[in-house]
Structure 1
Amino acid sequence: MRGCLRFLAGIVAIGFVTTAVLTLFLTNLFAVVADREIFKESLANLDQLVVEAVPAFVAQTLEEQARERGLAPINLDEELLQQSMETLLPPGWIEAQADTAVDTVYDLLEGGDLDNAELEIDTTPLLDRFRGDPGRVVVSNIVTSLPACTQPINPAELLGPNVTIPACLPPGVPADQITQEVHTRLVQTLDSNPQFTSEFGVVRVPLFSSEQQAQNEQLVQTREQLLRLQRTFAFAQNWGWVLWLLPLSCLFMIALFAVRSISDLGYWWGWTLLGTAVLVLFLSLVFPAITTFLLRQSPANATAVATSLQQTGIQVITAVTDTWLSRVYLQAVIMLAVGVVFVLLGFVTGRRTEYMENGY
């Protein structure tokens, strides 16, 4: 009978290892994903990514435009444009907008109203700089890189009805003149836009308005996915701790089936905890290698914007993984220490019982 109970205790011990590993991984993963500050910190250098991506995107766009029109290749100094972008962007502005976006997403996941959800962007600091010399320098760097026009063109019709960067520079017209005209018209357009002038430059972008959903089927699917994530988020937040009842119940069953003394308790619980901790540490060492391999297998994107988004995604995944691993390592070490204590307890009490039985 006792041998049968020990056999059952061994099976339950295997169940403890399995449930404890899964619970340790899942609860820590949710704790990390639920921490918005981790995502904010992972986006802390988004300013530099934007500064690098915008010149590359502008150069790529102008090159395609010149190629389609049969014009000479552009001569855009991307390094100079990066420097002017650094001057144009207010310090910490992009980081502040990224923090606002993260807060908006988490507010939605924590039970926000999707129908009235909107993203707030404070454009005032950026527009103030664009109206001044930093904005003019950015426009100048782009205009001076344009190729010369191959066909005669009326300078008055160069910009056309829309306020855009011209495709080429007409001979005989100074680049500074075109720069000034483009910059002036861009500023006038921004100042006449009610989205930028109302509410002191705070732009409110609706995320899931009924008009947008009627025009975009993909937006409807995104909203449905967010609703499912809301339910999952709420369930994990309220009931995630229940997972720990599985390994705890396994420990209780081990004690019920196999423990007849403190020595038995120390050995059964101690070796079970030790084995679980070692397995967790081993899997935690393997997991980063797998993650790194999968990230390296992601296809390279041809566009500058896609490349920047890919780099941002890798940054976020790396930050989440590192924080998750640090939490798992800490709890695995605690489990290892507790296991050692129980094994020592079993050894000491077992020796003492043996001495007492032998009459020492």
Structure 2
Amino acid sequence: MSNPTRPKNAGFDVTHDRSLLLEVSGDVGIATLNRPHRINALDLNLVSQLMTALTLWRSDPAVKLVVLRGAGDRGFCAGGDLRSDGASEGEGDHHFLRAEYALDFLIATYPKPVVALMDGIVMGGGFGLAGHASHRIVTERSRLAMPETKIGLTPDAGMSYHLARVRHGWGMHWALTSSTMDAADALFCGLADDYVPHSALDSLVSALSARGESTVQDVINRFASRAPAATVAAQSAMAEYWYNADSIEDILNRLDASSSDTATSAAEKIRAASPFAVKATFSAIRSAADLDLWGCLQQEFRYMVGLSARSDLAEGVTATLLEKRAARWEPRNLADVSEESLRDIANFPVDLGAEPRHSPTPSQQSSP
């Protein structure tokens, strides 16, 4: 492949700090998140650079396909860099969230195929980037999660749209428990598309660059393997019962009544998470089922800004990520989360603005 470069028609170098590496190989634009020391965590600078590159490639007739990948051995992207000023949801005019959501929507509505290599750790905002791509590749190393309830937030980056549409109640499971799924579970739940061994990823990218008249999917099929059986598949009937309930309390009662280890673990994780975030997430995922993607992003923006103003976010980050201890949430119990306070968060007075008109819609993405 060629050495990393800026996009061919860029009027300036968007890769000045090397946090994003860009190259064009054949007709494929390859964007590599290059913060391996942070598992390629997103900050405002990286998000802005990627937005610039994808916007330029969108109008470049020489680029017909985009590949998103992460540098290093640990993963594609661990999400927003909560220790970076640029990714702090509670500061300023919420520039990071606005930029991140605009990027997620651009990927979801991109007029050219986007292949995301979801290798290793893929969490939070990283799941949001890859989860909106037209071709989502997982490997035997993939570990995927939306872990927001563990730090006092709700799933965002447009993933509430996808989680609300996962069958058998598993979307609510992943959202409430912050549990990690492997490649097989992600494929079963419709959150990934193809399973390719880690060792074949470089060859896959090279083959995409030299695909000739083959379609993107034809090339992927040459490298794809059958994934292991999904561990969640056999419990789908139970999960549909567990999570098809009218409240968090009902869900916990159903989980407690089950003899399944999965149910026991889920109940423990829900009780360990922020009570306020758990109830907010339950409401947000249910509402997301009736919203389009931009509507979900609007709703997530209100929830994220409102929740980040609460004490649970700082406590969750400190306890979970830094001090590795049980968090001291406020309030401490689900019963103390009032419906009025949840409505205030759901209607928090912020707005993303009108839907960007990138077009086409996700279902109209081309597949050369």
TM bucket normalised to smaller: under 0.3
Which structure: larger Rg?
1
Structure that is richer in helix per residue: 1
TM-score, length-scaled by structure 1: 0.23
TM-score, length-scaled by structure 2: 0.22
Q: Which has the higher contact order (CA 8 A, sep 6+)?
A: 1
